[in-house]
């Protein structure tokens, strides 16, 4: 599937003239945009879950990570961390001057642009996405949130200074560090998803934990997030880079928790302690302890409690006062989530006119492109419904007596079609 007209291209290349919106005079104009998803990973205002965990798994459990093309997930249901995705879109979908995409009323539309076209692309690839939104942050996370706020305020000051004497690149860099995802951004994305017929879940607390719960309950095949702590919340399978553009040519990384634990030679409790020592969102990390040292500590001593007394005196002095690692452990092992078995996920035909009213009439998107994308949504939902009906009739019990297979007869290999029906 090629990049559709009007679809944002999340690449490190500077510009793509693909988006049409109303300009200040009210007429239609093509706006050059800057798409730089890589900036999400370079942005110091956001931490990507567990520090250094990807490298540890790559070194000690390489069999746990496999790379796939998006076509490999045809027919799969996937729970997506909506909050991380929206932040990604706010960082990546930019005008040439580095500012977020806005309509003629000055309203930010970067999040809607990213959410709409990335979702259409996934559905067109046969994926059935369900988005999960963050609820209230756990109290233990307040320290990390305060640090993020301070970093954003610092970036705001540097951006204003750069506006006076800096280069365009400096202005763009500091502007992206001031990005904030507001409740309005979340609410607008929920409204859009409802019009598109895509289900979403409002988590009581952390979205990654709820995604992991849906995967454990068998409601979805995997959880999709850029946050590695989705594994720490015990998601059996984590998908990374799923919401990146096809033009990035970056494969989707599929990480299996059981194989990671096997390669690391740890049980789940030890893995959680490893993640806390590496550095997570809930407690301060210990200065001087990086991923490699954290791994060797847990391998040797099996838990944080047993490892700390064996630290060199210089490192013991770096352990934060009243370090609540046990509270962080509890948050990972017993997160506040909605029980997966109680959640019903339903994908429906999109309300095309509802999408058009919202994106075109209210937000100034190009009507032709929006309608063409909606046609893809309708087509894929209908084909999925038809496939389910065919599967239902094929699955009806036969009245003929079953035949006994001779002992020497080997089982027949599954056809591609039968394999597809086994997918969630």
Quick one: three-class SS letters along 160-205? HHHHHHCCHHHHHHHHHCCCCCCHHHHHHHHHHHHHHCCCEEECCC
What's the pLDDT at 423?
54
At 310, list the tokens.
């064996």
Q: For residue 412, what are the CA distances in angstroms to 180, 401, 408, 423? A: 55, 20, 12, 19
User: What would the two tokens of residue 65 be?
Assistant: 């990570």
Cβ–Cβ under 8 Å, residues 208 and 240 = no
Torsion angles phi and psi, residue 384, rounded to 5? -65, -40
As annotated, the residues of the chain forming the CATH 1.10.150.20 domain(s) are 266-333
pLDDT the model gives residue 246: 61
Residue 355 near residue 363, CB atoms below 8 Å: no
CB of 206 closer than 8 Å to CB of 82: no
Distance between terminal CA atoms of the chain? 23
Per CATH, which fold does 16-262+356-383 belong to?
Rossmann fold (3.40.50)
pTM of the model: 0.75
Reduced to 3 states (helix: H, G, I; strand: E, B; else coil), residue 38 is helix
- Cα distance between residue 364 and residue 356, in whole Å: 10
Residue entry with tokens 């490192």? 315
Q: Quote the pLDDT of residue 45.
A: 39
Q: How high is the pLDDT of residue 329?
A: 96
Whether the CA torsion 125, 130, 135, 141 is positive or negative: it is: negative
**8 A C-beta contact, residue 47 and residue 147:** no
State the residue for tokens 């249901």: 77
The DSSP bridge pattern shows strands 128-133 and 77-81 to be: parallel
Region(s) of the chain under CATH 3.40.50.1010: 16-262+356-383
What pLDDT is recorded for position 95?
60
Q: Tens of pLDDT along the chain (424 residues)?
A: 333 334 444 333 333 334 444 444 444 433 334 434 434 434 433 445 799 999 999 999 999 999 999 999 999 999 999 998 998 888 876 566 667 777 888 888 999 999 999 999 999 999 999 999 999 988 876 444 445 445 444 444 443 444 444 444 543 444 445 578 899 999 999 999 999 999 999 999 999 999 999 999 999 999 999 999 999 999 999 999 998 766 557 899 999 999 999 999 999 999 999 999 999 989 989 999 999 999 999 999 999 999 999 999 999 999 998 899 999 999 999 999 999 999 999 999 999 999 999 999 999 999 999 999 999 999 988 776 655 555 444 444 434 444 444 444 444 444 444 444 445 5
CATH fold of the domain at 266-333: DNA polymerase; domain 1 (1.10.150)
């Amino acid at each position: 599937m090629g990049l559709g007209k009007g679809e944002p291209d999340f690449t490190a290349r500077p510009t793509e003239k693909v988006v049409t919106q109303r300009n200040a005079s009210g007429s239609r104009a093509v706006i050059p945009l800057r798409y730089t998803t890589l900036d999400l990973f370079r942005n110091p205002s956001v931490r990507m879950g567990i520090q250094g965990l990807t490298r540890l798994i790559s070194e000690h459990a390489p069999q746990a990570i496999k790379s796939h093309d998006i076509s490999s997930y045809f027919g799969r249901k996937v729970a997506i961390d909506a909050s991380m995705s929206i932040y990604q879109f706010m960082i990546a979908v930019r005008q040439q001057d580095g500012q977020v995409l806005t309509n003629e009323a000055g309203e930010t539309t970067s999040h809607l642009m990213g959410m709409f076209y990335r979702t259409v692309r996934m559905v067109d690839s046969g994926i059935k996405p369900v988005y999960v939104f963050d609820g209230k942050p756990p109290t233990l996370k307040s320290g990390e949130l305060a640090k993020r706020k301070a970093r954003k305020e610092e970036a705001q000051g540097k951006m204003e200074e750069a506006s006076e004497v800096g280069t365009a690149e400096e202005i763009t860099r500091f502007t992206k560090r001031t990005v904030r995802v507001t409740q309005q951004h979340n609410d607008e994305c929920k409204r859009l998803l409802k019009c598109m017929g895509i289900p979403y879940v409002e988590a009581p607390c952390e979205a990654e934990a709820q995604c992991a719960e849906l995967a454990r309950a068998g409601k979805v095949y995997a959880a999709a997030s850029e946050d590695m702590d989705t594994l720490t919340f015990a998601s059996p399978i984590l998908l990374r880079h799923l919401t990146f553009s096809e033009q990035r040519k970056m494969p989707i990384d599929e990480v299996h928790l059981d194989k990671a634990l096997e390669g690391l030679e740890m049980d789940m409790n030890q893995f959680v302690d490893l993640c806390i020592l590496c550095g997570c969102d809930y407690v301060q990390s210990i200065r001087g302890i990086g991923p490699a040292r954290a791994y060797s500590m847990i391998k040797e001593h099996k838990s944080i409690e047993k490892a700390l007394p064996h630290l060199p005196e210089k490192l013991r002095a770096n352990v934060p006062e009243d370090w609540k690692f046990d509270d962080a452990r509890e948050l990972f092992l017993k997160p506040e989530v909605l029980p997966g078995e109680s959640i019903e996920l339903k994908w429906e035909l999109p309300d095309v006119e509802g999408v058009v009213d919202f994106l075109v009439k209210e937000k100034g998107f190009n009507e032709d492109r929006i309608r063409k994308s909606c046609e893809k949504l309708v087509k894929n939902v209908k084909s999925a419904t038809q496939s389910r009906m065919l599967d239902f009739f094929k699955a009806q019990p036969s009245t003929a007596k079953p035949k006994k297979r001779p002992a020497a007869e080997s089982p027949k290999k599954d056809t591609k079609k039968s394999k597809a029906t086994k997918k969630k």
